Structure 1
Amino acid sequence: MPESSRSTPSPDRPHQDTAVSSDGNLNEFGHQISFGEAVRVWLRIAILSFGGPAGQIAVMHRILVDEKRWVSESRFLHALNYCMVLPGPEAQQLATYIGWLLHGVKGGLVAGSLFVLPGFLSILVLSVLYAGFQEATLVQALFFGIKAAVLAIVIQAVIRIGKRALKNAYMYALAAAAFIAIFLFAVPFPLVILTAALIGLLGRHVDPERFVVIKGHDTPEDAGRAIDAMMDGGTAHHTRATRKRALKVLAVWLPLWFTPLVVLAVTLGYDDVFTQIGLFFSKLAVLTFGGAYSVLAYMAQEAVQNYGWLAPGEMLDGLGMAETTPGPLIQVVQFVGFMGAFRDSGPLDPFTAGILASVLATWVTFIPCFLWIFLGAPYVEKLRGNQAVSAALSAVTAAVVGVMLNLAIWFAVHVAFGEVDTVRTFGMQLLVPTWGSVQIASVVLALGAFIAMLRFKVGMLPVIFVSALLGIVYYLLFGGAPIL
């Protein structure tokens, strides 16, 4: 923002730095931040949104709280808490939420859409190249190295979230139960999450101190920030919760979500790949509690084993794409949809089918995100300090750690071995690798990436870049043959 458009904070009033327009007048939303300035900031955040949700939230915090000083620390964290309760990518929803606070629906649409757009375009290009040149040695070499780095990233995520969520024996037990349920008995992911939430709701009556691990933030509001001044001053008319407004939101966003699904089912039939992609990712959109990592195992299981859209190794390739491009990690749905339609394109050209499926998967994944924010944000203050919500979220987050551990093991087995069978016995399922298919090079690369990230705190992107280069070198020297 130009210096002429910002006031300078005085030493004794450090929190009164807020954006001021050239004429000093409030706009229709009760603050002085122009829509054009907000668009430029959201585009900047979108381009810098690498590193998964933690990195994306850190970028938003640095720009919105520290640099632009548009929103206070406490309100930013409170909004983040609300987004953590919702299904879907919390970073994208946080951008939508703050954009909506600033400039209403159009602000939320721009902030949320720009957050997705760079990643969508990047993964679309990579998907086309992947599908068209998958057999090329260079492409195989590139993703050989990336897979190893992605495995290290997933393991690190398990450790990081585990440290935050597993604070006592109850939480460890929930994580262990969730892991056993999915890994050994293939219990559906939605059932695991719902059961955990129910246990959390009941557990707060038994031992509220230890079941409420994730607590709200009670930091005093900073009235000097533009958004806080607007909210505290009673000028944020667009944020008021009314039944009329809620009905209007439902009347707009539910048809936007479900009309394409109905049209596809009626015109193409329930079994068509486009209908299946639309329905599957619509279901996924309401199940992604705890971030993308928590639902990847479920997505991989369904996409690989049930629908046959991908091979196990290709799921890792798609995750590598999402890890190395800006935007939400859940954008991997676009790659899954592309490959599913590419291989079952019907009368369409495979690339055309893949592109259309990319758009469809992205649409049904993110339209619900806008619905959750525009419908629920006006009531967000009612969730502040709510013990029931905190207990349920704490239990779900603990269960998510177990789900992610299952994902890490699933990935690890498929990275380390070229052949893996699933054996079912006594009501359980077990992953049984063929020991002769062990890929030592993959194991060494993954171990090196893990040590670099965990021991030496090397960033995610440098680790992926180096792993990709080493994968290329390995393929050039050994032709991709396993080193035993």
Structure 2
Amino acid sequence: MQSAAPVNSSPTIGDLFRVSLRIGCLSFGGPAGQIALMHREIVEERCWVDEDQFLHALNLCHLLPGPEAQQLAIWIGWKLHGARGGLLAGSLFVIPGALVMLALSVLYSAATGLAWFAAIFLGIKAAVLAIVVQALLRVAGRALDTRFKLGIAVAAFAALFVLALPFPLVLLLAAIAGAVAAARRPDLLKLKPVAPLDANLPRPWGATLRAVLVGAAAWAAPLALILVTLGPDHVLWQIGLFFSKLAVVTFGGAYAVLAYMAQQAVDHYAWLGAGEMADGLGLAETTPGPLIMVTQFVGYLAGLRAAAPFSPLVGGLLGALLTTWVTFVPCFMWIFALAPWMERLERAPRLKGALAGITAAVVGVIANLSVWFAVHVLFARTVTVSTVALPDPASLDWRAAIIAVAAAVLVFRFKWNVIRVLAVCAAAGLGLGAI
């Protein structure tokens, strides 16, 4: 990144609105592309935030659960116009993609059962498999720079795939391993030394407490309303509670929690099928905003299929809105509560070690997701041996396998972008679906 010009820290709220809306509408390409877009718009072109501030804020966002790009947008708004600016910038980062994803979810449910539609999504599912493997290799190349981190990644994969341990427990154990290593052997994590903390740095407890109280109340309000009016057995309560838990453990990007979310939504709650989960990820890849927006697709289908006392459409819309609320509202709370502590957090070695441990474990988590998708996309049946779901070789879908190989060639050999790959594979699925 180039050094920015002197900071112009006086944009109006209208300026912030226009730029935030532009970013929200153009934020394709995952967190790397979204952060690069924000850097160009905010740091390079308008000089509203300087380079060091931007990078320090990005480091803070990596420490927090949730989509780091949205949290960075919230921080930019907070830095420029306080809580009002944070609410504006963070909301506009999500709303365009949420509206697109909701429209696609409605169209998806309406067209389910049509042969041509199923053929298109045969190609999309196969393409998603190649895209997830690409994400795995990218994260692994960036995160596993020591043997200790590689060991954490392998252990995380084994814990999930072989032992079927709970995803939050795997992250907790990885965080503990990283924190212990940071305290005793920081070389195992390649942690850079931190400057001593200034004893005169303020401790803004009041601002943090207010942010936590207000944020937690906003987060819990719809859940409380559902509990009082519909009871704890209604699907909306289950949706709100599950995705609230997910919001707390979403470290390392959307891919890190997708396997856990998919397994719970498919196997435990039976809100949708494994193939539909892959379809939802394919749709999320084509929309602006965070990839974790796929949660809205899951919430929509869950509400649609257990809608009483509402109509199916209303139940689906309520499920989608509730999922979006409990997924993204916590991001505002994290930033408003912790941004004033940024400098202190950056100089906490054990916290950095815990984050490094989680980041390494995320590689194993995404590897588990890759295997899960491969088994369910390429094979029609599985055989469970102990806790491991193995594919039945006789049930291989040769059409999906051909498209997956072609998608891998387009992604790794020709470096095509996600939307282009999805479009070509959808067309291939439509063609092979007729056979």
Specify if TM > 0.5.
Answer: yes
Structure 1: how far apart are the matches of 2:416 and 2:348? 38
1:365 alignment counterpart: 327
Structure 2: how far apart are the matches of 1:241 and 1:119? 36
Aligned pairs for 1:54-453 within 5 A: 54-213=32-191, 242-424=204-386, 429-453=387-411
* Count of equivalent residues: 428
Contact between 2:74 and 2:335, CA under 8 Å: does it hold in 1?
yes
What SS class does the counterpart of residue 48 from structure 2 fall into? coil
Q: One-letter code of the match for 1:180?
A: A
Contact between 1:78 and 1:217, CA under 8 Å: does it hold in 2?
no
How big is each residue's C-alpha offset from its partner over 1:326-381, in whole Å with a ceiling of 9 and x where there is no partner? 11111111111111111111121111100011000000111111000001101011
How big is each residue's C-alpha offset from its partner over 1:303-339, in whole Å with a ceiling of 9 and x where there is no partner? 0000000100010011111111011111111111111
Distance verdict in 2 for CA 1:160–1:216, change over 3 Å: farther
How big is each residue's C-alpha offset from its partner over 1:8-61, in whole Å with a ceiling of 9 and x where there is no partner? xxxxxx854444xxxxxxxxxxx3211111111111111111111122112112
Structure 1: how far apart are the matches of 2:147 and 2:213? 45
Runs of 5+ unmatched residues, structure 1: 1-13, 20-30, 219-239, 479-484
Distance verdict in 2 for CA 1:387–1:377, change over 3 Å: same
Contact between 1:149 and 1:449, CA under 8 Å: does it hold in 2?
yes
TM-score (normalizing by structure 2)? 0.95
Q: One-letter code of the match for 2:106?
A: V
Contact between 2:299 and 2:319, CA under 8 Å: does it hold in 1?
yes
How big is each residue's C-alpha offset from its partner over 1:454-484, in whole Å with a ceiling of 9 and x where there is no partner? 2222211211111112112222x31xxxxxx
TM-score (normalizing by structure 1)? 0.85
**Range 63-72 or range 83-92, more displaced:** 63-72
Contact between 1:212 and 1:391, CA under 8 Å: does it hold in 2?
no
Contact between 2:119 and 2:430, CA under 8 Å: does it hold in 1?
yes
Distance verdict in 2 for CA 1:15–1:317, change over 3 Å: closer
What SS class does the counterpart of residue 295 from structure 1 fall into? helix
Structure 2: how far apart are the matches of 1:75 and 1:304? 42
CA-based RMSD: 1.8
Structure 2: how far apart are the matches of 1:310 and 1:395? 32
CA positional deviation for 1:217: 9.7
CA positional deviation for 1:434: 2.2
Among 418, 421, 426, the residue aligned to 1:460: 418
Q: One-letter code of the match for 1:471?
A: G
Distance verdict in 2 for CA 1:275–1:35, change over 3 Å: same
State, as a whole percentage, how many aligned pairs show the same letter.
50
Which structure has the larger Rg over C-alpha atoms?
1
Runs of 5+ unmatched residues, structure 2: 196-201
Q: One-letter code of the match for 1:290?
A: G
Contact between 2:24 and 2:289, CA under 8 Å: does it hold in 1?
yes
Q: One-letter code of the match for 1:415?
A: V
What SS class does the counterpart of residue 296 from structure 1 fall into? helix
